[in-house]
């Protein structure tokens, strides 16, 4: 009876579907992107966030865009 149970992966709220059916990560969803980062500003790994490789690349580029637009900090404010 050695069964391994996997928890189902769920898509983060910052990844949406466009009207033509394509997935995209919205850089304006600051609260959802902040949940995918450590308090020091690092991006969580795929294993921690539970997303696919394609979604992780989209999330990383959305976080980097939000940092560039000054919506998210590059580092924490306590440093």
Q: In the chain, where are the structural domains located?
A: 15-68
Superfamily of domain 15-68: Ribosomal protein S18 (4.10.640.10)
pLDDT of 71: 93
| pLDDT over threshold 50, residue 79 | no
Separation in Å, CA 77 to CA 19, 39, 40, 41: 38, 9, 8, 10
Tens digits of residue pLDDT in 17-76: 889 989 888 999 999 999 999 988 899 999 888 889 999 999 999 999 999 999 999 887
pLDDT of 49: 87
């Amino acid at each position: 009876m050695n069964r391994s149970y996997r928890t189902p992966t769920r898509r983060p709220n910052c990844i949406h579907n466009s009207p033509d059916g394509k997935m995209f990560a919205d850089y304006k969803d600051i609260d959802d992107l902040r949940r995918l980062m450590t308090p020091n500003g690092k991006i969580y790994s795929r294993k921690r966030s539970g997303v696919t490789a394609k979604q992780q690349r989209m999330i990383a580029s959305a976080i980097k865009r939000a940092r560039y637009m000054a919506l998210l900090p590059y580092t924490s404010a306590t440093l």
